[in-house]
Structure 1
Amino acid sequence: MQVGNKSYRTQSDIPADVPVFPLSGALLLPGAQLPLNIFEPRYLAMLDDALSSNRIIGVIQPALDEKASGQSPVADLCSIGCLGRITSFSETGDGRYVVSLSGICRFRVIEELGKGRKPYRVCRISPFLGDLDTSGDNGAEVDRQALLDSFKAYLEANNLEADWASVERASTETLVNSLSMMSPYGPAEKQALLEADDLKTRAETLIAITEIALARDSDENGHVLQ
């Protein structure tokens, strides 16, 4: 996996401990990009530290089960997130950072470290090393037409438009991951898309979620979607 100016190919290329940015409803996938607007002091500190070291942070959602955190004021985290490398960075002049994270690989949280030692959270992780091999899953098994049909139906149901020339030119991998990240679905759906075993499964999951959303909307509007 080549991300910016850095190659990530083996376990040794991935840090064991990473700062994490809990974001509900956010999705970063390997090979994709996620723009972030950073303004909270603790996350400004996190970005400063990351920029001075390996430029890696983990994007992860707070635990989906609200009861998971118990009486703790700090929410638990989902078990799986995605590592990103800071590949674009600018200061706004009003105390914010605007950055672009490029996805490296997914990771599983082993444990959270040193609560209170840093203003932000740090986790020990186990990376999904299969995500680093870009020679394998290129989307050949994805039903691209079914995905496009689902996307088109969603756009039509919501009176939206798309640049179809760009959509048709996009590789299947780019299409699946971009639509997954851009999709307006909730945290549980975004987590399911992140945890999909492969590109084919992610595409099928996205189609299923979209069909459920369309069916729900048609029921609420009192008509059946054809």
Structure 2
Amino acid sequence: MADEDVIDLDELRTALVRTCARLKVFPLPGVVVLPGTPTPFHVFEPRYRQLTAEALRGDRMLAVATLASEEGATQDRAPIQPIAGAGFIEEAEELPDGRFHILVRGLARVRLVEELENGLPYREFRAELLEDVYPPAGSAALLRQRRALEACVLQLAEVLPPESGAPQLAELAARTPSASTLADLVAAAVVSEPDKRLAVIEELDVAKRLDLVTGEVASVILMLSQGRTPSA
């Protein structure tokens, strides 16, 4: 993870708002990038190598969209899920043959509103930034749900070995001030099934998202207690 002290997230979100007028989209089967979390990618297809190169020459912004079906991976303009995770390329390594290793840091949820004609092999969309929805009383009204999720993460750390990263996740959860960010960070670490990760990114209501992620963590704990291995 890059040093967050040198990352101006407000500045990056402002840049993302500008980019939403013509946002580069990297569609993949079963992949969801959640805000606040880093995701590594190996970019090898020529069209996405071009997308990456163009993004690196510009503001480094892109969205990772989830294909509606795995069959879409071989299609040029396959249907995609309308809610996606947008972020910026935090790290990039170009290999001698033109492939890239990149690390995308999720910034926000976006709705892909309209695909734009660009005459390029990769896709661009007009998008809109999506904001979290809090209860009328604000984040203070989420204290009970936040504590429930933190308790589940602590319990998960007790049943998993230290090398799993669960203790570090519990520490991170305890010092994450935003309930929205907390739900996304835990989901990124614990929720592995694509449809459930998609449900997390599609949920704008922070209270419902906290409940959703808490339920998923509780399910993992239950499976571990029964001697079953959660699906990866």
TM-fit CA distance, 1:171: 0.9
> 8 Å contact 2:27–2:65 — kept in the other structure?
yes
What is the CA–CA distance in structure 2 between the aligned matches of 1:7 and 1:38, rounded to whole Å? 24
**What is the CA deviation profile of residues 29-61 of structure 1, one whole-angstrom value per residue up to 9, with x for unaligned ones?**
333333322222221111011112222111111
1:151 aligns with 2:153: yes
Q: Secondary structure at the match of 1:8?
A: helix
TM-fit CA distance, 1:212: 4.3
2:186 maps to: 179
TM-score of the pair, normalised by structure 1 = 0.72
Which residue type is aligned with residue 79 of structure 1? P
The 1:33/1:191 distance shift into structure 2, 3 A limit, reads same
1:102 counterpart (83, 89, 105): 105
What is the CA–CA distance in structure 2 between the aligned matches of 1:7 and 1:157, rounded to whole Å? 37
Which residue type is aligned with residue 43 of structure 1? Y
What is the CA–CA distance in structure 2 between the aligned matches of 1:102 and 1:34, rounded to whole Å? 6
1:141 aligns with 2:145: no
Counterparts of 1:8-27 in structure 2, within 5 Å, are 8=14, 11=17, 13-27=18-32
2:166 counterpart (158, 162, 165): 162
What is the CA–CA distance in structure 2 between the aligned matches of 1:163 and 1:157, rounded to whole Å? 10
2:214 maps to: 207
TM-score of the pair, normalised by structure 2 = 0.71
The 1:177/1:139 distance shift into structure 2, 3 A limit, reads farther
2:58 counterpart (31, 34, 53): 53
Q: Secondary structure at the match of 2:111?
A: strand
The 1:125/1:175 distance shift into structure 2, 3 A limit, reads closer
1:40 aligns with 2:38: no
Q: Secondary structure at the match of 1:163?
A: helix
TM-fit CA distance, 1:194: 0.5
**What is the CA deviation profile of residues 126-165 of structure 1, one whole-angstrom value per residue up to 9, with x for unaligned ones?**
222x36xxxxx76872433311332344556666562357
What is the CA–CA distance in structure 2 between the aligned matches of 1:33 and 1:4, rounded to whole Å? 17
Q: Secondary structure at the match of 2:142?
A: coil
**What is the CA deviation profile of residues 75-114 of structure 1, one whole-angstrom value per residue up to 9, with x for unaligned ones?**
3100111221222222344643222223332211222233
**What is the CA deviation profile of residues 1-51 of structure 1, one whole-angstrom value per residue up to 9, with x for unaligned ones?**
94396451895x343121211133333233333332222222111101111
What is the CA–CA distance in structure 1 between the aligned matches of 2:91 and 2:67, rounded to whole Å? 25
TM-fit CA distance, 1:193: 0.7
1:113 maps to: 116
What is the CA–CA distance in structure 2 between the aligned matches of 1:87 and 1:113, rounded to whole Å? 26
Which residue type is aligned with residue 83 of structure 2? I
Identity %: 26
1:3 aligns with 2:9: yes
Root mean square deviation of aligned Cα: 3.6
What is the CA–CA distance in structure 2 between the aligned matches of 1:48 and 1:139, rounded to whole Å? 43
Q: Secondary structure at the match of 1:26?
A: coil
What is the CA–CA distance in structure 2 between the aligned matches of 1:93 and 1:153, rounded to whole Å? 46
> 8 Å contact 2:55–2:62 — kept in the other structure?
yes
**What is the CA deviation profile of residues 186-213 of structure 1, one whole-angstrom value per residue up to 9, with x for unaligned ones?**
2211111112224333221111233345
Any stretches of 5+ residues in structure 2 without a counterpart? Answer: 1-6, 133-137
Any stretches of 5+ residues in structure 1 without a counterpart? Answer: 132-136, 222-226
The 1:3/1:9 distance shift into structure 2, 3 A limit, reads same
> 8 Å contact 1:139–1:199 — kept in the other structure?
no
> 8 Å contact 1:62–1:75 — kept in the other structure?
yes
The 1:28/1:172 distance shift into structure 2, 3 A limit, reads farther
